């Protein structure tokens, strides 16, 4: 049995998940425990997990194949992250600074905000 713990935060809306190292391949039991947490909470947070882009993609592939098709158009504006599987929803530019309001990243974020509200 995995040592994964999901501690509720914000009532039952989210959970802080501990007891798993996201830099390492997951076992079937760990995947099952995380799926249970995802099914239970709207948001799960993994504190203190300094994962590389490659490790983040490997982690997400633990849950099934990735759909790159949806994000291909976004990658023309998102240049900070190397892997096509990662979508950059930050307000940070390629140099690590806050993106200028007229940058493609900022404009995309405004559209994203309107779409998701």
What is the reported pLDDT for 102? 82
Query: Whole-angstrom Cα distance, residue 95 to residue 85?
Result: 21
What is the reported pLDDT for 71? 58
Alpha carbon 104 to its chain's center: 21
Mean pLDDT, the chain, rounded, equals 84
Residue 21: pLDDT band (50, 70, 90) is very high
Output the pTM of the full model: 0.73
Q: Give the tens place of pLDDT for each residue, 78-92.
A: 667 777 777 777 788
Mean pLDDT of 33-46: 95
Rounded to a whole number of angstroms, the distance between the first and last alpha carbons of the chain is: 39
For residue 40, what are the CA distances in angstroms to 1, 10, 16, 44? 18, 13, 12, 9
Query: Whole-angstrom Cα distance, residue 102 to residue 117?
Result: 21
Mean pLDDT of 90-96: 81
98 pLDDT higher than 50: yes
Find the length of the chain. Answer: 117
- Residue 18 is inside which H or E element, if any? strand 14-18
What is the reported pLDDT for 38? 94
What is the reported pLDDT for 77? 62
């Amino acid at each position: 049995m995995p040592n994964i713990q999901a501690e509720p935060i914000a009532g039952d809306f989210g959970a802080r998940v501990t007891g798993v190292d996201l830099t390492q391949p997951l076992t079937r039991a760990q995947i099952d425990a995380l799926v249970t947490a995802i099914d239970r909470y709207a948001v799960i947070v993994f504190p203190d997990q300094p994962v590389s882009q490659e490790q983040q993609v490997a982690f997400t592939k633990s849950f099934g194949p990735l759909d790159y098709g949806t994000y291909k158009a976004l990658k023309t504006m998102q240049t900070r992250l190397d892997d096509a599987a990662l979508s950059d929803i930050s307000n940070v530019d390629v140099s690590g600074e806050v993106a200028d309001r007229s940058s493609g990243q900022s404009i995309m974020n405004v559209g994203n905000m309107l779409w998701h509200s």
